[in-house]
Amino acid sequence: MKFRLILVAAFVVFSSACTEKHYVETTNDTVSFYYSDSDAKEILFASSIDNYQHHAATRLNNSLWKVSTPAREGFGYFYIVDGVVTLPDCRYTEYDDFGSKNCLYIHGM
């Protein structure tokens, strides 16, 4: 019984560590970015589409936030979570002119 309880606890810890904090969905001419953070009070999105202007993400539930933008061939982006520039795990990245990294959205990839 004790072994089963330890096994279940290990599975819960492992599966929660694998939860994606950030993902992207593309539909026709729109790209939606989702960011998960239950502690955040405000999440802003900035991209090279409009020279990194800040756009407020909408809180969908206790932990999930969403922001949408027109789909383009590709662009760099990052988040600002409660005033702190944040780069989630993303498949593609690039260095900006200041030596910091940005995530890259590449249409069709």
- Per-residue DSSP letters for 34-87? EEE-TT-S-EEEEEGGGTS-EEEPEE-SSSEEEEEEE--SEEEEEEEETTEEE-
For domain 20-106, the CATH superfamily is: Immunoglobulins (2.60.40.10)
The helix or strand, by DSSP H or E, that contains position 11, with its residue range, turns out to be helix 2-17
Give residue 98's pLDDT band: very low, low, confident or very high (50, 70, 90).
Answer: confident
pLDDT at 61: 95
pLDDT at 19: 52
Q: Report residue 53: phi and psi, to 5°.
A: -65, 150
Residue whose tokens read 């809180």: 59
SS3 state of residue 92? coil
Sequence ranges of the domains in the chain: 20-106
Per-residue model confidence as pLDDT tens digits over 8-65:
333 333 333 345 799 999 988 899 999 999 999 999 999 999 999 999 999 999 999 9
Which whole number is the average pLDDT over 82-95?
94
